[in-house]
Amino acid sequence: MDTELAALPDDIDTLKAALLAARADVVRVTAEAAAALARQSSDQALIAHLKLLIEKLQRDRFGPRSERTARLLEQMELQLEELEASATEDELAAEAAAAKTTAVTGFTRKRPARRPFPEHLPRERVVIAGPSACACCGCTRLSRLGEDVTETLEVIPRSWKVIQHVREKFSCRDCERISQPPAPFHVTPRGWAGPNLLAMILFEKFGQHQPLNRQAERYAREGVAVSLSTLADQVGACTAVLMPLFGRLAAHVMAAERLHGDDTTVPVLARGKTDIARLWVYVRDDRPFNGPAPPGAVFHYSHDRGGEHPQSHLAAYTGILQADAYGGYGKLYEPGRKPGPIVEAACWAHARRKFFVLADLASSARRAAHGKAPAVLSPICLEAVQRIDALFDIERDINGHSAAERRTTRQALSLPLVMDLQNWLGQQRAKLARGNDVAKAIDYMLKRWTAFTRFLDDGRVCLSNNAAERALRGIALGRKSWLFCGSDRGGQRAAIMYSLIVTAKMNDIDPQVWLADVLARIAEHPAQRLDELLPWNWAAAKSSAVDQAA
């Protein structure tokens, strides 16, 4: 230290110059570090974007690879969101640091190409007046060469309005009778809300999982005070209005040759506590075997999980039921059942999940990272997962083919794998004790082997019950928002609205737009033509009207 101090010059001007040079070096190094950090953040964001894009493309091409694929995509999207925000912050910091020095160039991210704004959006032109004189010589003789347009996406806050329906009265000068046109139709009795507002309330509550109290608070902030009880009254009235349409949807779903069935828990408020009720779903989806019928989902509510509930839901149904091994379905499969037995088709995704839990390398690594004892990994379960995944690989290639084509492929490719799996499971089971977790996973399959192998002889049967699980996914997400149903009646209303909204989504229809149009028309719509308002028929009619107008 003393040697370094002695080497410094004694001249004040020289010291000032050295200090300024040192500061410049610090600014330069800081700018270079900021630019390097910005480049690193940009690369990480680009990598995350490409990974997400690859995963989505694979999902679109091959379908979901497992029941965890949707959650994986959500996690990747959240990661991309954080990395993009961090990269933008680092880019701005690098630009600010580079502005302090001339030795370091600024860093500009290479962002993925942004899609152009949709053509259907209205355009508002804001013309910035050009110069009146040349900035170089001051000449006023300027000639217009063209224009550059920069588009900025903007949103207009939601606007409210009151529609006044004016009915003029006339009196006859001869008989003095008063004439007046009839009052306009209201969606609900003593209605004060239009169909678009009602559709928004319903979709926000059951489609976006926003409870009515939160909606009321938001409306109040926008200057429209609507009480919670008033909103609840409209929900009940709309459910009653839509009940006939729910009946037609249920008839369509129950006419399927094959159904997916599943249930999930729903907390329901009870006296002094919260009970655990159930929402059951039955899904008709013939798209995997190229069936012509449109998809649909029907929900039912029950206060418990008794077996009598699915038995009553499916009392008149005969066909194939694809579901888990819940014991309440047992009586449905009895040979002497009236009007006829239901054929059981087991879910390979459920069976795979039992093995996967015991062979999850990632879960064991996370436990070790948190200082916990790593889970015991079973090589038997790991091989079982790989064998089952080979069956799912075959299914991806035949998804959307006809039932006959699917059966032919399965007989040629899947049957040998299934027979080999059965022999292998039997050999491994003989080596395990009765209470072993691996033995329980094996027994789950071997005891229901006929139901698990039914897909080999029937091309209509899917390998998994994921169609029903996808229908229930919104409820699982919504529980975190609305916490519980207020009553059993509330659960029944939720089942009706979930049925309509989930079915609209399955048919790639905006549920809110569809509900608004249905609510505006259903009271005057002939009962014998009610099927015209079902989502797929409604969409076809709208498309036909657009084509005729064009």
pLDDT in tens, 219-268: 999 888 888 888 888 888 888 889 999 999 999 999 999 999 999 988 88
Using CA atoms, how far residue 431 sits from 427, 436, 438, in Å, is 7, 10, 11
Report the distance separating Cα 399 and Cα 527, nearest Å. Answer: 37
* Nearest-10 crossing angle of helices 415-429, 379-398: 160
Alpha-carbon distance of 195 to 531, in angstroms, equals 20
Model pLDDT, residue 316: 93
Angle between helices 195-202 and 228-254 (to 10 degrees): 80
User: How far, in Å, are 64, 217, 383 from residue 377 at the CA level?
Assistant: 25, 51, 11
- Token look-up 């828990």 returns 265
Domain boundaries, the chain: 17-98, 246-488
The answer to whether 219 and 225 have CB atoms below 8 angstroms apart is yes
| Cβ atoms of 351 and 289 closer than 8 Å | no
The answer, as to whether pTM is greater than 0.85, is no
- The rounded distance, in Å, linking the Cα atoms of 294 and 503 is 9
Q: Are 297 and 384 in contact (CB under 8 A)?
A: no
Q: Report d(CA 279, CA 7) in Å as an integer.
A: 83
Q: Do 456 and 476 form a contact (C-beta atoms < 8 A)? A: no
Q: Are strands 296-302 and 273-284 parallel, antiparallel or unpaired?
A: antiparallel
pLDDT of residue 67: 45
* Positions in the chain short of pLDDT 50: 67
- Nearest Cα residue to 510 out of 200, 249, 253, 297: 200
- The confidence score (pLDDT) of residue 73 equals 60
At 219, list the tokens: 């409306």
| Residue 279 exposed, middle or buried by CB count within 10 Å (0-12, 13-18, 19+) | buried
- Evaluate whether 347 touches 367 at the Cβ level (below 8 Å): no
In the block, residue with structure tokens 């038995």: 311
- Which long-range contacts (C-beta less than 8 Å, at least 24 apart) are formed by 272-278? 274/484, 275/303, 277/301, 277/302, 277/303, 277/304, 277/485, 277/488, 277/491, 278/302, 278/303, 278/304, 278/305, 278/309
Q: Which of 523, 337, 379, 351 is nearest to 448 (CA)?
A: 351
Three-state secondary-structure class, residue 268: strand
Pairing of strands 296-302, 320-322: unpaired
The string of DSSP codes covering 344-413 is: EE--HHHHHHHHHHTT-HHHHHHHHHTTSPPPPPPHHHHHHHHHHHHHHHHHHHHTTS-HHHHHHHIIII
